[in-house]
Structure 1
Amino acid sequence: MRYIIYGAGGIGGGIGALLQLAGCDVVLIARGAHLDAMQQVGLLIRRPSGEQRVAVTAVGHPSELTFGDEDVVILTMKGQDTAGALDDLERCAGPELPIVCGQNGVGNERSVARRFLNVYGMLVVMPATFLVAGEIALFGEPRAGLLDSGRFPRGVDETVTQLCADLSRAGFNAQADADVMRLKHGKLLDNLGNAVGALCGETALRSAGDEVRAFMRRMREEAIACYDAAQIDYAPRSEVGERRAATFSSGEIPGVERGGSSTWQSFRRGVPAIETDWLNGEIVLLGLEHDVPTPANRALQLMAKRALRSGLSVGSVAIGDIVALEEQLAAG
C-alpha cells in the first residue's frame, strides 16, 4: 500500500516519516514553509534517542498525485480542515478511496462516511510537537505512539490489518480494533481540556490547582452524561491510560520545548482556527440533541473562539474567567 498522509504536521509528519523509514511507500501533503522545507532538505525527526533527517516525498495538494487502487489516505489535519480536504480528495480520487481519520474527536469519521465508502478510525495517543517548519519532535519511547485502528462504524478488514502491521513495524503500538470508536470516545474525555492549556497556559494545566481540576471534572461529567443519554459506548480513561503507559513514556529532547496539546501548538503557531468545535463542540452538540446541559464545555468553546478572534496569546486567560462564563451559561 501507499500511504498518503494529508496534513503532515506533528502527528502526520511523524507517522509518515517512521512508516517511510520502515520501508513503506509514503507521500506527505502539507503547505507553506513546512512543505518548502521538506521538499528542499527533508523532514528532521527529533527523538529522545537522537535525530534523523528523512528524505520524504511531499506535495502541496492531492491534484499533484495520481491515485491508484493501493492508496490509503490518513487524515491528520485538525477537524476544522477536514471538509476542505474531503472536497479535494473527492475531486481527485473518487469515493472508493480508503480514508483513515487519525484525528482527535469523533466527528471526522461521520463527515467522511457521508461521502466515501471505506472509512476508518484511528486512536491517536502520540506526544509530538510541531513548532518549526521542517522539524517534528517525537517524545515517545520506546514506541512513538499508540495508533489502534478499525473500520467505521465498526469492524476489521484486510486494509486495517495491513495498516496496523505496517505501523507496528514502524515503531508504533497499533492493534486492529473492531470497536475503535469506543476508544476514540474515551480519548475525547481527555482532549476536552486541550483548550484549557492553550488559554490558561500549560503550567496552569500541569499544576492543576483545585479550580482547574474541578472545571476539568465538570467537562468530563457533562460528556459522560451525554454519552449515557445517547447510549454511546466509551472506553474508561483508565483503559486508554494503561495502553499508553504500556506503549511509551515521554522523554526529553535537548533543546526542544515539550509544549502542550495540539490546540496549544495551534495557538503558538498563530493558526487562525482551532479544533475546539470538534472536541468540546461535540459534547455541546450531543447535549443539545439529548437535552443534557453542557455549560462547562460550552464556556470553554466560546472562550477559545473569543481568544482566537482577539489574537490573545497562550496563557492570557484566567481559569476564573472561564468558570464565570460557565456559571453565566448555567444560570441561563
Structure 2
Amino acid sequence: MRYVIIGAGAVGGTVGGRLAESGQEVVLVARGAHGAALRARGLRLRVPQGELSYRLPVVAGPDELGALRADDVLVLAVKTQDSEAALDIWGPAPVEGGGTAAERLPLVCAQNGVEGPRLALRRFRHVYAVCVWLPSTHVEPGVVSAAGAPLTGILHLGRYPHGTDDTARRIAADLEKAHFEAPVVPDVARWQYAKLLSNLGNALEAVSGLGGDPQAEALFRRVRAEGEAVLDAAGIPYTGAEEQRAVRGDKVTLVPLDGVTHGGGSSWQSLSRGAGTIEADYLNGEIALLGRLHGVPTPLNELLQRLANEFAREGRAPGSLPVAELERLADAAVAFVQET
C-alpha cells in the first residue's frame, strides 16, 4: 500500500517518516513554508536514534499527484478545523480504474478530538479512526520531532463508527513495523473520548504555559472533571486510567533530543507557529456542545475555548496569560453560571 499523508505536520510527518523508514511508499501533502522546505531539503525527523532525513514526494493536492492508485491509503492528519477543506479537495479525486477517493479508498483520521471521522463519514465510505498517542512537535518548516522511546507512539485503530476489518489489520501491521504499536479495536471511539479528556488541557497550556505549575494542574483537574461529568451525562463510554496504563505502560517515554527544546502540545505549537487557528472548538468546544445538549454546565471549558481562539486570532504568544489571572477568570465564569 502507498500512504498519502494529508497534513505532514507533527503527527503526519512522524507517521510518514517512520513508515518510509520501514520501507513503505509514502507521499507527503503540505503547503506553504513547510511544503517548500520538504521539497527543498526533505523531511527531517528528529527521534531518539538521531536526526533522520527522507526525500519523499511532496504535493499540495491531488492535482499534482495525478490519479490516485487503488492501493492508496489516505491519512488525514490535519487539525480538525482544517478537515472540511481537505475532505472537499481529496474526496472527488479520481482513482485509477474509475471512481473517486471518497468512493473507493480508505481514509484514516489521525487527529485529536472525535469530530474528524464524523466529518469524513459524510463524504467517504471507508473511514477509520485513530486514537493518537504520539508525542511529537512541529514548529520549524521541514522539521518534525518525536521524542518517544522505545516506541514512537501507540495508535489504536478501528473502523468508524465501530468494527474492524482486514484493511485496518493491514494498516496496523505496517505501523507495527514502523516503531508504533497499533492495536486494532472495535470500539476505537472509547479510546478517542479518553484522549479527548486529556486534550482538554491543551488550551490551558497554550494560553498559560507548559506544565509543572501546581496551580495550573489543579485548574486542569477541574476542567477534566467538567468533561467527565458531561460524558457521563451523555452516556458516552471512555477508557479509564487503569486500562490506559495497562496498555501503554512505559512503552512511550519521552527522552531528551539533541538540539531540540521541549515544547508544548498541539495547541501550544499552533500558537508558536502563528497558524491563526487552533483546535479548541473541537476539544473544549466538544465538551461545551455535549454539555448544552445534555444540560450540564461547562463554564471552564467554554472559557478555555474562547481564550484559545482569541490567542490564535490575535497572534498572542503561547503562555502569556498568567495562571493566577486564568484562575481568576475561571472562578468568575463558574460564579456567573451559578448565579444565572
What is the 5 A alignment of 1:38-77?
38-65=38-65, 66-77=67-78
CA distance in 2, matches of 1:184, 1:116: 20
- Please point out which of 222, 233, 240 is paired with 1:236: 240
- Please point out which of 94, 110, 114 is paired with 1:106: 114
What is the 5 A alignment of 1:1-332?
1-65=1-65, 66-92=67-93, 93-96=100-103, 97-202=105-210, 205=211, 207-209=212-214, 211-330=215-334, 331-332=336-337
Question: What SS class does the counterpart of residue 289 from structure 1 fall into?
Answer: helix
| Equivalent residue letter for 1:72 | V
CA distance in 1, matches of 2:37, 2:221: 41
CA distance in 2, matches of 1:306, 1:130: 22
CA distance in 1, matches of 2:246, 2:33: 37
| CA apart distance, 1:62 | 2.1
Does the 8 Å CA contact 1:198/1:267 hold for their aligned counterparts?
Answer: yes
Does the 8 Å CA contact 2:129/2:157 hold for their aligned counterparts?
Answer: yes
280-289 or 213-222: bigger deviation: 213-222
| CA apart distance, 1:313 | 0.6
CA distance in 2, matches of 1:198, 1:240: 25
CA distance in 1, matches of 2:89, 2:34: 20
Unpaired segments ≥5 residues, structure 1: none
CA distance in 1, matches of 2:119, 2:27: 23
Q: Deviations over 1:211-237 (max 9, x none)?
A: 322321121111111111111110113
| CA apart distance, 1:308 | 2.3
| Equivalent residue letter for 1:320 | A
Question: What SS class does the counterpart of residue 52 from structure 1 fall into?
Answer: strand
Does the 8 Å CA contact 2:131/2:192 hold for their aligned counterparts?
Answer: yes
CA distance in 1, matches of 2:195, 2:149: 20
CA distance in 1, matches of 2:202, 2:220: 10
CA distance in 1, matches of 2:254, 2:150: 9
CA distance in 1, matches of 2:256, 2:102: 42
Question: What SS class does the counterpart of residue 130 from structure 1 fall into?
Answer: strand
Runs of 4 or more, structure 1, over 4 Å off, are: none
Does the 8 Å CA contact 1:148/1:176 hold for their aligned counterparts?
Answer: yes
Does the 8 Å CA contact 2:196/2:283 hold for their aligned counterparts?
Answer: yes
Does the 8 Å CA contact 1:22/1:170 hold for their aligned counterparts?
Answer: yes
CA distance in 2, matches of 1:135, 1:307: 24
CA distance in 2, matches of 1:243, 1:318: 36
CA distance in 2, matches of 1:309, 1:116: 31
| Equivalent residue letter for 1:299 | L
Q: Deviations over 1:16-75 (max 9, x none)?
A: 011111111111101112111211221111112212211211111122222122111111
- Aligned-pair RMSD on alpha carbons? 1.4
| CA apart distance, 1:242 | 4.2
| Equivalent residue letter for 1:95 | A
Aligned residues: 328
167-176 or 44-53: bigger deviation: 44-53
Question: What SS class does the counterpart of residue 176 from structure 1 fall into?
Answer: coil
Q: Deviations over 1:171-226 (max 9, x none)?
A: 10111111111001001111000111111111xx2x231x3223211211111111
| CA apart distance, 1:241 | 4.0
Does the 8 Å CA contact 1:106/1:184 hold for their aligned counterparts?
Answer: yes
Which structure is higher in strand share?
2
1:194 and 1:238, CA in 2 relative to 1: closer, same or farther beyond 3 A? farther
